[in-house]
A = this chain, B = another copy of it.
């Protein structure tokens, strides 16, 4: 650096106590600052250099805080936050057929999706989540909520064979999804996936179309897969093969494929996910709460399958909280393997950030603090008395802190949550709408 060069004018310089950039892996920096300009990470550099090199419009000092990439929720049905705790402690079948599906049939509409998604965005921003991967009906209503909140989202073009309030059959779902994509494709914060609901609700024919479209449009395929033993048994009855084999035969597996849940897999199947370059969205709270089973976390790790973390919906979680998923994933990995070294805190943080970005095909844009990526960030305060003492910020993020310790969430360099409040969402109005929906749902 030329010492005579004048400092460069930039938008924002953040001075936290610690920075965990995720790339390189396992690193916790002190005495470093993050420089941001035009929504992009410009530099990550020592504090003394930062002060001479950059002249920021805004400077934020965060003593006692750790700065890390925004968390990525790799699987949710955001609108279902209106069904948070609507029915619990029930078998999956009773839960779905007696409670969730009837409620959806009666109530799901663009307004339901807008209000539910906005609540989900508020909750996710509160907990440091900057990007989510969604699958639900009426995605245009979800996109409006996403845009209001200022988040980044990959919205699924949902496909099923059976009719709902949203569409009548697979072709109708697809054409509505494609029309939705056409409307929103200029929104830089919105990406798209093809979202066939699950092997048991989508025909071979529809899956084939989805495979073709995914290749043409270069967008991911996002589907529930091997969530329960029942799903596998039924597939063998109906198709003579397990769901993963069926999707493989249909040519769907590949680096654009995100398998959600993946609870019940044999070693050959885990190998197949790796060989084809598929990604997994682990949703441990949902798998446990619905009685689906325990996901084979460390086997994915051993086979080098890329795994991100998802909350699933607030109807089966009941929080859209990646801190809970980080803690639970790390704990389950250790407990199931009877090995306390399984899934370290840094590996868990990577699952909640970079791995999610990889799965969404957005690795070049988000998921770590490399210069050139979008400034999607969260700051977590670790000096609250209840978290003391703190010896290692990475360990504290996974095992000790929680979403309520997040103080700032930025998307593309813009502050979208501070002091516990989403900045661009009118919370009073939102709460009034939630109240109306709660009354309708209990009427």
Q: Chain A: residues with CB nearer than 8 A to chain B?
A: 82, 84-86, 88-92, 95, 119, 122-123, 126, 228-229, 285, 287-294, 317-319, 324, 327-328, 330-332, 334-342, 344-345, 385-392, 395-396, 399-400, 402, 404, 427, 430-431, 434-435, 437-438, 441-442
A385 B427 Cβ-Cβ under 8 A: yes
Q: A85-B392, A290-B334, A385-B427 are in contact. List 6 more A-B contacts (CB 8 A).
A: A84-B400, A88-B345, A89-B340, A122-B386, A288-B334, A291-B341
Specify how many copies of this chain sit in the oligomer.
2
Complexed CA–CA distance, A312 and B401 (Å):
17
A selection of 7 A-B contacts at a CB cut-off of 8 Å is A88-B345, A89-B340, A228-B338, A285-B331, A289-B334, A317-B399, A385-B431
> Which residues does chain B contribute within 8 Å of A229, judged by CB atoms?
338
> Which residues does chain B contribute within 8 Å of A341, judged by CB atoms?
89-91, 291
Point out the residue from B89, B319, B391, B427 that lies within 8 Å of A86, measured CB to CB.
B391
Point out the residue from B122, B228, B290, B388 that lies within 8 Å of A434, measured CB to CB.
B388
- The chain B residue with its CB closest to the CB of A287 is B335
> Which residues does chain B contribute within 8 Å of A228, judged by CB atoms?
338
Name the residue in A338, A345, A392 with the highest tally of chain B Cβ atoms < 10 Å from its Cβ: A338
B319 A400 Cβ-Cβ under 8 A: yes
B119 A84 Cβ-Cβ under 8 A: no
B291 A342 Cβ-Cβ under 8 A: yes
- The chain B residue with its CB closest to the CB of A332 is B288
Known: A328-B328, A385-B427. A402 touches B399 (CB 8 A): no
> Which residues does chain B contribute within 8 Å of A427, judged by CB atoms?
385
> Which residues does chain B contribute within 8 Å of A287, judged by CB atoms?
335
B340 A289 Cβ-Cβ under 8 A: yes
Complexed CA–CA distance, A58 and B390 (Å):
40
Name the residue in A90, A287, A399 with the highest tally of chain B Cβ atoms < 10 Å from its Cβ: A399
> Which residues does chain B contribute within 8 Å of A84, judged by CB atoms?
387-391, 400
Pairs A-B, 3 closest by C-beta atoms: A288-B335, A291-B340, A288-B331
- The chain B residue with its CB closest to the CB of A390 is B85
A292 B335 Cβ-Cβ under 8 A: yes
A331 B328 Cβ-Cβ under 8 A: yes
> Which residues does chain B contribute within 8 Å of A91, judged by CB atoms?
339-341
Point out the residue from B388, B392, B395 that lies within 8 Å of A431, measured CB to CB.
B388
Complexed CA–CA distance, A400 and B395 (Å):
23
Known: A85-B390, A441-B389. A289 touches B338 (CB 8 A): no
> Which residues does chain B contribute within 8 Å of A385, judged by CB atoms?
122, 427, 430-431
> Which residues does chain B contribute within 8 Å of A285, judged by CB atoms?
331
> Which residues does chain B contribute within 8 Å of A332, judged by CB atoms?
288
- The chain B residue with its CB closest to the CB of A346 is B89
A391 B442 Cβ-Cβ under 8 A: yes
A113 to chain B, nearest CB (A): 15
